[in-house]
């Protein structure tokens, strides 16, 4: 079976990830490169592992996270669906079994909040991991913080932790935000839809979802 670690070092895979990140950089989006891809895959895998899913399913979650944003190299619009098509070709060319390809592209195709739905455990875990990656280091240019709300919100988050508690059936995202940079209300202005999606995804996995910002539970 082909491993996540092998794909992570694959020069063609790396080229797609870097190209997608460059496209988003050109239009002013936050970092969507290898750092985001690896973190998303790692967190998606950790969610499933903690909840008792099998080793191979957790490996597929890492792979889905690694590839989930490559569709941005085509266009930001419909990037989830484009990414699923691209991932299909890349994975079949590397002789991934059809069922594993289906599992991965289904998750990738359902991760963007405009069309997302937690239709499988893998898709639910990918959504939770992707939408929870909010951090200062994703901001490419500090000069944009003053007028770009997405950059401002990410730049304001100086600590972030995604916790999964199997016993209590709880998935919790805890953020610490510098309110001098960004008021908490601005976080909700752009991320409320994503947090509601996280709540639905956690429910699909049989868990509740909580959002804690600066020691206050908001969801």
At 143 the pLDDT is: 85
Q: Which residue has the higher pLDDT, 50 or 28?
A: 50
pLDDT tier, 134 (very low <50, low <70, confident <90, very high otherwise): very high
Q: What is the mean pLDDT of residues 132-139?
A: 95
Kindly tell me if the per-residue pLDDT of 125 is higher than 90. yes
List pLDDT tens digits, range 68-113.
999 999 999 999 999 999 999 999 999 999 999 999 999 999 999 9
DSSP annotation of 54 reads -
pLDDT band at 188; cut points 50, 70, 90: confident
Find out if CATH 1.10.357 is the number for domain 4-217: no
pTM attached to this predicted model = 0.96
For residue 149, the model assigns a pLDDT of: 85
Q: Are 134 and 160 in contact (CB under 8 A)?
A: yes
Mean pLDDT score of the chain: 96
Q: Flag whether pLDDT at 203 surpasses 80.
A: yes
Residue 127 has pLDDT above 80, yes or no: yes
| Terminal-to-terminal C-alpha distance of the chain | 40
Residue 150 pLDDT > 90, yes or no?
no
User: At residue 218, does pLDDT exceed 80?
Assistant: yes
For position 144, what pLDDT does the model report?
85
Structure tokens at 29: 């989006």
Q: Any bridge partners for residue 173, and if so which? A: 162, 211
Interatomic CA distance for residues 167 and 182, integer angstroms? 34
Domain ranges in the chain are: 4-217
Residue 1 has pLDDT above 80, yes or no: no
């Amino acid at each position: 079976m082909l491993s996540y670690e092998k794909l992570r070092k694959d020069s063609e895979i790396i080229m797609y990830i870097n190209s997608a990140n460059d496209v988003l950089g050109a239009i002013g989006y936050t970092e969507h490169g290898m750092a985001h891809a690896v973190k998303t895959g790692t967190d998606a895998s950790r969610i499933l592992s903690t909840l008792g899913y099998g080793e191979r399913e957790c490996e597929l979650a890492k792979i889905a996270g690694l590839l989930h944003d490559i569709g941005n190299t085509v266009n930001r619009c419909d990037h989830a669906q484009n990414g699923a098509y691209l991932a299909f070709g890349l994975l079949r060319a590397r002789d991934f079994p059809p069922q594993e390809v289906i599992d991965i592209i289904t998750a990738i195709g359902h991760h963007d909040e405009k069309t997302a739905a937690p239709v499988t455990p893998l898709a639910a875990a990918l959504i939770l991991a992707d939408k929870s990656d909010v951090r200062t280091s994703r901001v490419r240019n500090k000069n944009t913080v003053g007028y770009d709300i997405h950059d401002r919100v990410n730049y304001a988050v100086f600590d972030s932790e995604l916790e999964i508690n199997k016993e209590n059936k709880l998935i919790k995202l805890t953020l610490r935000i510098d309110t001098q940079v960004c008021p908490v209300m601005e976080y909700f202005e752009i991320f409320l839809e994503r947090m509601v999606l996280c709540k639905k995804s956690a429910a699909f996995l049989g868990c509740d979802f909580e959002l804690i910002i600066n020691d206050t539970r908001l969801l």
